[in-house]
Amino acid sequence: MESIAKKNIRHLSVFDPGPSEQALKEKYSLQTLTRLFMNENVYGCSPRVLQALREVTPQDLAVYPSARTDQLRQALARKHQVDPESIVMTNGLDEMILLLARTFIEEGDEVLGHTPTFPEIYSQARVDGGIPVMIPDKGQNIDWDGMLQGISSRTKMIYLCNPNNPTGRLLPLEEIRDFLEHVPEDVLVVIDEAYMEYTQDPQSSTALPLVEEYPQVAVMRTFSKAYGVANARVGFGVFSPKHLSAIDAVRLPFNFNTLNEKMAIAALKDEDFLEETRKLNEAEKRRWEEFLTTQGLDYHPSATNFLFIHVPRAEALVQKALEAGYRIITHSYEDHVRLTLPAASDGVVLRELFKNHLKN
Ligand SMILES: Cc1ncc(COP(=O)(O)O)c(C=O)c1O
């Protein structure tokens, strides 16, 4: 029988998480299976987050969450020097992306971006009749001229992921600024900073200060990556007043729960954990860069916790890694893998595996 669901969702397929970890472990007789395909924090999360969970009371659970999430928004506002009222909390950036599409995209509106990048905004926009316009990168860089030419009278939103997933590239703020100078005021420019905490100097690389300068800019962040709480689902966006009331009207009132709020506040307080994550990640990145250069493999310079690597017979490499207990994935281009930077001991094993793969 034909589905009665709306026609705009026909392009969507049910998210396929692949075989379960248990099934893979049984199939390949593995003691452990290390996840290096979702760019989660391989060092876990701050112990303060677990402590915050332990302190949750029955009363916390019995009542509805505050629809305002004031405590967390104030903590975030202090950290990022923005107005707490400009912050919208969501269940991860996944929900923010959905909210952006529902709030802004109408039939025939275009969502402009470059490729390869994180594609979720395009499929969500299509649910509302939006049309993706994706400009292929030129080598390792965004084709800014192509992007400007891609702007039409139907462009409603532009999506920039900085640093970019899957390439890991950090866009200099000046490049974004130059681009913004040419973007019409009625186009919303969404800057997804999911991996910004991994950069050398997040304070000077973030586009957060641009929100005040350019009302068409929105910046979003997640706690799923460097803060290590992907399972808690904590994301937020910073918007100019001109967009806030529309987004808040579409957002479900109790979308963000008190447990998430408590965990995020605890995570925010542990600067040492963040710093340690950054340090360990950088050290591992250096070891991989050295190794890849020695092996003559091309990779993109990365400001994140993953590397995008050009490697022969990538599918076979992914399979060998799986059989050795590591989940990595092919991504975007032929013979490219995206590898979440592992903990040091796993890195040693994996580089050996890469080396053997190249020999055979
Ligand atoms: C660039 C980018 N944006 C957004 C997300 C979604 O993050 P969240 O876990 O906050 O939903 C991801 C997840 O991998 C991502 O890589």
The neighbour count for residue 192, using CB atoms within 10 Å, is 29
* Of 156, 159, 158, nearest in space to 107 by CA: 156
pLDDT band at 16 (very low <50, low <70, confident <90, very high): confident
pLDDT at position 8, please?
A: 86
Which residue type is seen at 133?
Answer: V
Domain 47-269 has CATH 3.40.640.10: yes
Contacts by residues 80-87 (CB-CB < 8 Å, ≥ 24 positions apart): 80/206, 80/208, 80/238, 81/208, 81/209, 82/208, 82/211, 82/238, 85/241, 85/244, 86/211, 86/238, 86/239, 86/240, 86/241, 86/244, 87/236, 87/237, 87/238
The CATH H-level (homologous superfamily) assignment of domain 7-44+272-359 is Aspartate Aminotransferase, domain 1 (3.90.1150.10)
In the chain, the largest separation of any two C-alpha atoms, in whole Å, equals: 60
pLDDT at position 12, please?
A: 80
Burial of 79 (0-12, 13-18, 19+ CB in 10 A): exposed
Rounded-to-integer distance, Cα 360 and Cα 350, Å: 15
* Of 126, 204, 146, 191, nearest in space to 165 by CA: 191
Q: Does the CB atom of residue 165 touch ligand 1 within 6 A?
A: yes
Residue 237 CA to ligand 1 center (angstroms) comes to 13
* Of 76, 43, 349, 30, nearest in space to 221 by CA: 76
Q: Does the CB atom of residue 292 touch ligand 1 within 6 A?
A: no
- Could you report the per-residue pLDDT of 212-269, keeping only the tens digit for each? 999 999 999 999 999 999 999 999 999 999 999 999 999 999 999 999 999 999 999 9
Q: Report which secondary-structure segment, H or E, holds 188.
A: strand 188-192
Q: Does the CB atom of residue 119 touch ligand 1 within 6 A?
A: no
Mutate to test the pocket of ligand 1, among 159, 167, 192, 222 (most ligand atoms within 8 A of CB): 222
Crossing angle of helices 92-104 and 120-127, rounded to 10°: 40
Residue 118 CA to ligand 1 center (angstroms) comes to 8
- Could you report the per-residue pLDDT of 309-333, keeping only the tens digit for each? 999 999 999 999 999 999 999 998 9
CA 81 to chain centre: 22
pLDDT at position 360, please?
A: 79
Q: Does the CB atom of residue 39 touch ligand 1 within 6 A?
A: yes
- CA angle, corner 201, sides to 195 and 205, nearest 5? 70
pLDDT at position 218, please?
A: 98
Q: 168: phi > 0 → left, psi -120 to 50 → alpha, else beta; which?
A: left
Q: Does the CB atom of residue 191 touch ligand 1 within 6 A?
A: no
Q: Does the CB atom of residue 40 touch ligand 1 within 6 A?
A: no
Cβ(328)–Cβ(321) below 8 Å: yes
Give 205-264 as a DSSP string.
H-STTHHHH-TTEEEEEESSSTT--GGG--EEEE--HHHHHHHHHHS-TT-S-HHHHHHH
Cβ(221)–Cβ(213) below 8 Å: no
CA 348 to chain centre: 26
Cβ(291)–Cβ(351) below 8 Å: yes
Domain ranges of the chain: 7-44+272-359, 47-269
- Could you report the per-residue pLDDT of 264-283, keeping only the tens digit for each? 999 999 999 999 999 999 99
pLDDT band at 14 (very low <50, low <70, confident <90, very high): confident
Residue 100 CA to ligand 1 center (angstroms) comes to 14
Q: Does the CB atom of residue 224 touch ligand 1 within 6 A?
A: yes
- Could you report the per-residue pLDDT of 159-216, keeping only the tens digit for each? 999 999 999 999 999 999 999 999 999 999 999 999 999 999 999 999 999 999 999 9
Q: Does the CB atom of residue 161 touch ligand 1 within 6 A?
A: yes
Q: Does the CB atom of residue 118 touch ligand 1 within 6 A?
A: yes
Question: For the chain, what is the mean pLDDT?
Answer: 96
* Of 272, 285, 113, 83, nearest in space to 199 by CA: 285
Measured from the Cα of 223, ligand 1's closest atom is 10
* Of 199, 207, 205, nearest in space to 225 by CA: 199
pLDDT at position 6, please?
A: 86
Q: Which residues have a Cβ under 8 Å from the Cβ of 86 and sit 6 or more positions away?
A: 77, 211, 238, 239, 240, 241, 244
- Could you report the per-residue pLDDT of 99-108, keeping only the tens digit for each? 999 999 999 9
Q: Does the CB atom of residue 94 touch ligand 1 within 6 A?
A: yes
Q: Nearest residue CA, atom 7 of ligand 1? A: 93
Q: Nearest residue CA, atom 16 of ligand 1? A: 165
pLDDT at position 58, please?
A: 96
Mutate to test the pocket of ligand 1, among 35, 96, 122, 165 (most ligand atoms within 8 A of CB): 165
Does the pTM exceed 0.95?
yes
Q: Nearest residue CA, atom 5 of ligand 1? A: 93
Q: Does the CB atom of residue 217 touch ligand 1 within 6 A?
A: no
Which residue type is seen at 192?
Answer: D
pLDDT at position 18, please?
A: 83
